[in-house]
Amino acid sequence: MDREKLLEEISVETPSKIILIVLDGLGGLPYKDGKTELECAKTPNLNALAKNSALGLTYPILQGITPGSGPAHLALFGYDPLKYTIGRGILENLGLGVEIERGDLAIRGNFCTLKDEVVVDRRAGRIPTDKCVELCRKLNENTGKIDGVDVLFTPGMEHRFALRLRGEGLSDKIKETDPQKVGERPVIPEALEKDGERTSQTLKKIMEMARDTLKDEERANFILLRGYSLHSPIPSMSKLFKLKPAAVATYPMYKGLAKLVGMDVLDVKGTEISDEVETLKQNYKHYDFFYFHVKKTDSYGEDGNFDKKVSIIEEFDRALPEILSLCFDVVVVTSDHSTPCLLKGHSWHPNPFLIYSKYVIADEQTEFSEKSCAKGILGHFYAKDAMSLMLASALKLKKFGA
């Protein structure tokens, strides 16, 4: 019996409530006076919570593996991130706020410059984002619906866009059109398998229309497509874990990820942590699982901005008492992955993890940090196993076997 089937079999609906707080990219490395971001931040409320909680460290995927946001979040939501892989095209669309449904074909795209039929600039001279917005609008006007397939271009930064095809019988078994180097012709999107022939025809038509629409552009006169991902749905959290889950997040990518696993995505009026807390309070009654996402810890980590990352952690710490005052049965504070300022990017270091419930042996550590978590009673474990621990601690799992 596999883990997923086991959880589906033993999970039960109960009134108890869980909150999973994800401080994105929280974990760090020694940077300032040999201290990490979390060690430098003044976090009296997190420390007080830690004293009554069980601590540990989680591997997002496997020892040494640095995850993107997609797999790292899937793991936290209780899914094996090596079983459910989310295609690049899907993440690109989700990140731009595009809804993805079962059977959608999601694609990453670039504007490029063609000359004498060969690609001379794969990024079309990094056109300004405004220009990208204008060209996507034109492409949407001129393509619209082809062969019964809805076509949606969504502008990203500079030369980047996301493309979503929605229709019956789409396939992702198609050649990518990006030749990956200059001086070559764009690849024709031929089908790689018989199933892909209809989709191949549709993509060829889209490329023709794009060529026609963009023919007068100096730089962005063609498009290149890659990262085809056909969305095969993930079993929902309500099916697997009997939860009624909701997401409190402000960035499109995370809202999109939450939708993929069947969460309701709640409206947040603003982008501050306090706005998210307000949303949480208003919706507390209606759900039994909340995913609460704080983005800026990661953003400042990526920037290598140590002081700002510290200040966001402190801002969250000030908001924590209001969250705790709602009286969740289970509170988890953790991260999807580490983003040390030292690396200016995601890293493989395990995540600090704290779980509070009536049914933990509290570690009585006086602070919440990478090091105190390493000494915690939970030890090191895989992020994908956090869900069963949360469910158990909320008494939402029956016994396995007799």
Interface residues with its own copies (CB under 8 A) are 1-3, 6, 10, 29-30, 36, 57, 61-72, 81-82, 85-86, 88, 91-92, 340, 342-343, 345-349, 358-362, 370-371, 374-382, 385-393, 397-402
Which residue lies nearer to its own copies by CB, 32 or 219? 32
CA 103 to chain centre: 20
**Under a CB-based contact definition with an 8 Å cutoff, are residues 376 and 363 in contact?**
yes
Token representation of residue 297: 């810890």
**Residue closer to its own copies, measured from CB, 167 or 376:** 376
CB of 41 to its own copies, least distance (A): 16
**Residue 371 Cβ vs its own copies, minimum distance, rounded to whole Å:** 7
Provide, rounded to whole angstroms, the least separation between the CB of residue 399 and its own copies: 5
Tell me which residue has tokens 């601690």: 393
* CA separation for the pair 289, 229 (Å, rounded): 29
In the complex with its own copies, which residue's Cβ is closer, 185 or 358? 358
What is the Cα–Cα distance from 389 to 129, expressed in whole angstroms? 44
Which is closer to its own copies, CB of 61 or CB of 319? 61
Q: Are 339 and 297 in contact (CB under 8 A)?
A: yes
Instruction: CB nearer to its own copies: give 131 or 396.
Output: 396
145-to-80, 106, 148, 152, 321 alpha-carbon distances in Å: 36, 16, 6, 9, 51
Burial class (CB in 10 A: 0-12, 13-18, 19+), 28: buried
Distance, in Å, from the CA atom of 298 to the CA atom of 255, rounded to the nearest integer, reads 16
Smallest separation, CB 38 to its own copies (Å): 11
Q: How far is the CB of 385 from its own copies (least distance, A)?
A: 4
Query: Please, what is the minimum distance in Å from the beta carbon of residue 351 to its own copies?
Result: 13
Is the four-CA dihedral 393, 395, 400, 402 of positive or negative sign? Answer: positive
- Nearer residue to its own copies within complex by CB, 284 or 348: 348
